[in-house]
Amino acid sequence: MDFREGRNIKEPLYMFSQSSLTDIILLLLIFFLLTSSFVTNFGIRVNVPQAQSSVTTEANQISVAITPQGDFFVEGEQTPRANLSIVLRQVYQNKPNATLVIRADRDARVDDAVQVMNIGRAMNMNIVMATERN
């Protein structure tokens, strides 16, 4: 039974408003643009050990990566073992009071990391060992 009169029949809505979808897409785009700038890319892929606690450092840092093969990368540039102290001293002169961040691979020799720590300690640098959070 249809109790409506013939003239009050409503036409179905054929147009779909996409303004709410555009707002959501715009917000997602802004979110991803903002969060992508916070990702730090060191460029050298090493498998660092995990730690129970973490310490955040300021942006004034010198990064040294140590690979399992015993290669050293200071600020992303491969450095021979013999020139390691010279290169670290030059970088430290450009960034005074910088923190030395050592990113040694889990399979790297401990002696290689200790060598970098000794050089940093000789220059009175703050030293931080990079790890992954558990």
Coil/strand/helix, residue 50: strand
**Domain 50-133 sits in CATH 3.30.420.270:** yes
Least Cα distance to 126 among 100, 94, 96, 102 occurs for: 100
On whether the CB atoms of residues 99 and 72 are closer than 8 A, the answer is no
Place of tokens 């450009």: 94
Domain boundaries, the chain: 50-133
Structure-block tokens of residue 63? 């990064």
Alpha-carbon separation of residue 96 from 7, 15, 88, 123 (angstroms): 83, 63, 11, 10
Tens-of-pLDDT digits for all 134 residues of the chain? Answer: 556 565 666 666 666 667 778 888 888 888 888 777 665 665 677 777 777 776 664 568 888 999 999 899 999 899 998 999 999 999 999 888 888 999 988 888 889 989 999 999 999 888 888 877 65
